[in-house]
Structure 1
Amino acid sequence: MAKMDEEGGHHVNWKDGRVSGAVYHGGEDMQKVIVAAFERYCVSNPLHPDVFPAVRKMEAEIVAMCLKMYNNPNGAGVTTSGGTESIIMAVKTYRDWARVTKGITEPEMIIPISAHAAFDKGAEYMGIKVHTIPVNPETRQVDIKRVRRAINPNTMLLVGSAVNFPDGCQDDIVALGKLASKHKIGLHVDCCLGSFIMPFLEEAGFSVQPFDFRVEGVTSISCDTHKYGFAPKGNSVVMYKDAQLRRFQYYVNPDWTGGVYASPSIAGSRPGALIAGTWAAMQYMGHSGYLESCKSIVTAAKTIAHRIRTEVTELRVLGNPPASVVAFAAAPGSSLNVLEVGDKMSKRGWHLNAVTNPAAVHIAVTRLTVPVVDQLIADLKDAIGEAKLSPSGNGTMMTLYGLGQSSPVGPTMVGHVAEAFLDTLYKA
């Protein structure tokens, strides 16, 4: 198994910093701290707090630290297995809240087209109708007028991102909050990717628009500790304005023959080792550590955006990303295919993300990316030159995303490819 990682012909060495997001590495010293926590709590399970009281306390403290970070120390929250579960749990919470408090039996939610796919996933699981709203092509923020028009008596939830995954931009949370307050509905702010970057921007000296619980109308926030919090993969936090709202997330069955069953999220048994590792990572980094991490990562991201804008005329940066993600598309009037550029970058050892509407490529900067910014720009310039002179048209990005645009049945074909890909993951 080790040889598979070390000798694979198409292996991506994440340690060299050429991977967009995916690996949020806090350093070798952090890794030792996390592994030590794993070893001590490897068999622990927070389903049994009487058996593992320390893990229960660590989980409560993780939630409390995140609530403080997002300026709601008297709020409530729960840890989950990741951002997707945090978002699905929030969707479930508002569905049940709307049923009990507003009598809504056919709930609807309104999300930007740039919102994470987990909202659609949660809506599909929970039987909720979704209204998807376009974003402004320049600012990349959701169209507030269209959101306002979409609100109706069945609306239970509005969604905004700070920041979103496709282009790393932030919606107008203040405007969304005003709408949520006016109509007495929920507003969830997805900070899964913004996680431990957004709360430190202002103190780090960067400009940032309001996004947390200080904004009137914000009723819940999701934050991934396993991204820029450098916690082990498999941990996130969903936070609510108060404990009363959080109760709608719980599942409680007092009549089960096996005894009273109550769980805060989807899982029953959960890995206490991940909670211990998350707690240890947060304690080890501390406020000052996260502040310095924010400074270095955001400085690198802003350097990338600035150099693309000033040195790479064939590309344009999407919106005005405030944090760690930079997305670039072909400049107006350019014949350049940016997905071809993405494929050329792959041949140079980079693992970037392709996004759509418009076609673009993004990089989520991590601590590993910081030392290789100059190399990124140099390789990007070379990749553009090669894409213009000798486009192959058969790279991964071109093939998959080109297929989706090939015909009216293109998206269906891409879906079948994705299903086949998932099948192959389970071939031993």
Structure 2
Amino acid sequence: MSTLSVPRIIDVVDVFQRNCTLDTAKNGVLVYFFAKRALKLWRHVRARGLRRSFTDLYVFFAQKTLRLIIKLPSMRKKVDTGMDDARAEINRKLLPQGKDVVRHLALPKKGCTLEWILDEMEQMDLEAPSHTDYRDGKLSGAVYHGGDDMEKVLVAAFQRYCVSNPLHPDVFPAVRKMEAEIVAMCLRMYNNPTGAGATTSGGTESILMSVKTHRDWARAVKGIFEPEMVVPASVHAAFDKAAAYFNIKLHSIPVDPESRQVDLKLVRRAINSNTIMVAGSAINFPDGCQDDIVGLGKLAKRYNIGLHVDCCLGSFIMPFLEKAGFPSEPFDFRVEGVTAISCDTHKYGFAPKGSSVIMYRSADLRQYQYYVNPDWSGGVYASPGLAGSRSGALIAGTWAAMHYMGEEGYISSCRDIVGSAKAIREAIQTLFPELYVLGKPQASVVAFGSRAPSLNILEVGDIMSKKGWHLNALQNPPGVHIACTRLTVSRVDDFIRDLKDAVWDAKGCPEGKGNMVTLYGLGNSSAIGPEMVGAIVTAFLDALYKA
């Protein structure tokens, strides 16, 4: 019987140890991988609940199956035919038709006169398939008109600063000063004079910047590299956009069907160690209701995360509610836990389109919004937001509008606009037993749905469209809303009268062929419905760029 030498024994032990170390490392990696996946799954289920998680899973597999079915030759032909018809209809409604339409597809050989340019613009208005006169007052939001005198103020500001660029504050010091003063005035309106902020191109950019800021803050301060945020289902789609752009997982929390406020218990359950922020609206776009900002603030403070309050639609209405004689719930920087607020100056501030303000509780937080590149070959590059070069004319117009209105002007405007919304809300509640108002809107928006099974509220919306009203269609639940503006104030009685006729017609002989019924009916038709709606919307976006 042979024996092992001492060196041989050492070699065997060494091989054993190395194998054990390798196996241990492999097992460790596998355990880490599965533990990480299990933790993500647990957080997902905890945030959404078992029912919604199973629903998500069902929809996922249903969509996969339906996509395979659609690829079958017979089905593919039907889908393609339907999409071709939809594209043709979109083009018919958006694009000027006829042989006499002049299309400008290349630069003219010689420059044109101002008179020719103005005449051609007028002709293009006349050629449009469905030109809407916004001054008629039948628009829901869209145009926040400050009056003919305000137009003159804006045009004068534009003319003076039409070539200015805030990217060069040494060249245009007045524009820099006006921009800083716009932010300062908004911060004071929202009760945070010592805070910080920046101007943006609109509410979407303001929200994008806030999400990016909280993401970078959480990475630097809390070491979060897989960020998540928790928002109400009623919050603006810009938060979904930010999640897609910045690779952030978004948990959309249902709102209470009666109050239309987000369920704080579900928000708390969805918060975890990767959460960077929560959000609330004052007011939200779909139904004009306000979330419980105080409750959300307590959660934000408890878990040391951000709280963004979206006041883009509330803008210059919410800060003046009390002074205009209307009830108001806390929503601004006086609420502990609020770290950022977005306010659109181009809505009820009557500034030119393309202007908004993002505000932060402190300048320390705002620094995480900035982009700085000290190594660029073109020199040190820095910008406060997404844009590099910007229009100083927009800043000048915003500054001019805010000074032209003043506090008294905004209080008066708030009183008129909210008063008209209140009149519409009360009329729906008292004169229309078939309808109900969503939640308890307190500002400029009134949303309503149908409580009668035989009445399709989207059919009502389509009939109102035929009467010249441009209202917004809602889903989950289906509804229609009107965002009142100064132009709406004189048309309240007309709206109520037309709504009566529309409800009567929708109950009597519904067509079921209008835009609202068709589009949102398709979206709810099956698991693949939203994807088909997406294809139609993509065709719509394509049509916007057809010359």
Normalising TM by the smaller chain, what interval?
over 0.9
Q: Of the two structures, which has the highest relative contact order with CA contacts closer than 8 Å and spacing of 6 or more? A: 1
Paired residues for 1:18-417 under 5 Å: 18-331=138-451, 333-417=452-536
Q: Deviations over 1:289-344 (max 9, x none)?
A: 0000000000000110000000011110000001000000002x432100000000
In structure 2, the partner of 1:427 is 546
Residues 206-225 of structure 1, C-alpha deviations (whole Å, 9 max, x = no match): 11110000001000000000
| Contact 1:109–1:158 (8 Å) recurs in 2 | yes
In the alignment, which residue of structure 1 is the partner of 2:22? none
Q: Separation in 2 of the partners of 1:101 and 1:116? A: 27
Distance 2:446 2:267 in 1: 25
- Where 1:158 maps in the other structure, the secondary structure is strand
In structure 2, distance between residues paired with 1:4 and 1:374: 33
Letter in 2 for 1:362: H
- Looking at structure 2, the residues matched to 181 and 201 of structure 1 have their Cα atoms a distance apart, in angstroms, of 27
Within 1, Cα distance between the matches of 2:289 and 2:427?
18
Task: Give the SS at the match of 1:319.
Answer: coil
Separation in structure 1 between the aligned mates of residue 124 and residue 443 of structure 2, nearest angstrom: 34
Contact 1:174 1:211 in 2 (8 A): yes
Structure 2 residue matching 1:377: 3-state secondary structure: helix
Shift of 1:6: 4.2
More displaced 10-residue stretch of structure 1: 226-235 or 11-20? 11-20
| SS across alignment from 1:343 | helix
Deviation at 1:4, TM superposition (A): 3.4
SS where residue 399 of structure 1 aligns? helix
Q: In the alignment, is the contact (CA less than 8 A) between 1:300 and 1:370 conserved in 2? A: yes
Q: What RMSD in Å do the two structures reach over aligned CA positions?
A: 0.7
Per-residue CA distance 1:16-43 (angstroms, 9 max, x = gap): 1000000000000000000000000000
C-alpha displacement at 1:7, in angstroms?
5.6
Give every structure 1 segment of 4 or more consecutive aligned residues whose post-TM-superposition deviation is greater than 4 Å.
none
Question: In 2, distance between residues paired with 1:221 and 1:6?
Answer: 41
- Please give the secondary structure, in 1, of the residue aligned with 2:322: coil
TM-score (norm. length: structure 1): 0.99
Counterpart Cα distance in 1 of 2:324 and 2:126: 38
Amino acid of the residue matched to residue 278 of structure 1? Answer: T
SS at match of 2:436: strand
- Counterparts of 1:326 and 1:397, CA distance in 2: 18
CA apart distance, 1:109: 0.2
Deviations along 1:160-184, whole A, 9 cap, x unmatched?
0000000000000000000000001
User: How big is the shift at 1:358?
Assistant: 0.3
Runs of at least 5 residues in structure 2 that lack an aligned partner in the other structure: 1-120
Q: Distance in 2 between matches of 1:6 and 1:202?
A: 44
What one-letter code is carried by the residue in structure 2 that aligns with 1:55?
V
User: Counterpart of 2:175 in structure 1: which amino acid?
Assistant: V
Distance in structure 2 (CA, Å) of the matches to 1:404 and 1:274: 38
The alignment partner of 2:448 has SS state of: strand
Q: Quick one: distance in 2 between partners of 1:165 and 1:4?
A: 32
Distance 1:25 1:261 in 2: 37
**Residues in 2 aligned to 1:191 and 1:410: alpha-carbon distance in whole angstroms:** 32
| Aligned partner letter, 1:363 | I
Native 8 Å contact 1:12 1:351 kept in 2? no
SS in structure 2 of the partner of residue 159 of structure 1: strand
- Residue 9 of structure 1 deviates from its aligned partner by 4.2
Spell out, residue by residue over 1:82-107, the C-alpha distance to the aligned partner (whole angstroms, 9 max, x if none): 00000000000001000000000000
Which amino acid in structure 1 is aligned with residue 249 of structure 2? Answer: K
Supply the distance in 2 between the matched residues of 1:32 and 1:120 (Cα, whole angstroms): 37
Larger radius of gyration: 2
Instruction: Tell me, yes or no, if the aligned pair for 1:314 and 1:334 is still in contact at 8 Å.
Output: no
SS in 2 for 1:326: strand
Q: Distance in 2 between matches of 1:126 and 1:151?
A: 19
How far residue 8 of structure 1 moved from its aligned partner, in angstroms, is 3.6
* C-alpha distance in structure 1 between counterparts of 2:443 and 2:263, whole Å: 21
What letter matches 2:142 in structure 1? A
Counterpart of 2:231 in 1: which secondary structure? strand
- Deviations along 1:255-312, one digit per CA (max 9) or x if unpaired, are 1111110100000000000000000000100000000000000000011000000001
Q: CA deviation at 1:5?
A: 2.5
Structure 1 distance, partners of 2:303, 2:179, is 34
Q: Give the aligned length.
A: 427
Inter-partner Cα distance in structure 1 for 2:453 and 2:132: 31
Output the TM-score relative to the length of structure 2: 0.78
Moved more, 286-295 or 2-11: 2-11
Task: Tell me, in whole angstroms, the C-alpha distance in 1 between the residues paired with 2:454 and 2:476.
Answer: 17
Task: Between 3-12 and 205-214, report the one with greater CA deviation.
Answer: 3-12
**How many angstroms apart in 2 are the aligned matches of 1:5 and 1:339?**
29
Tell me, in whole angstroms, the C-alpha distance in 1 between the residues paired with 2:308 and 2:484: 25
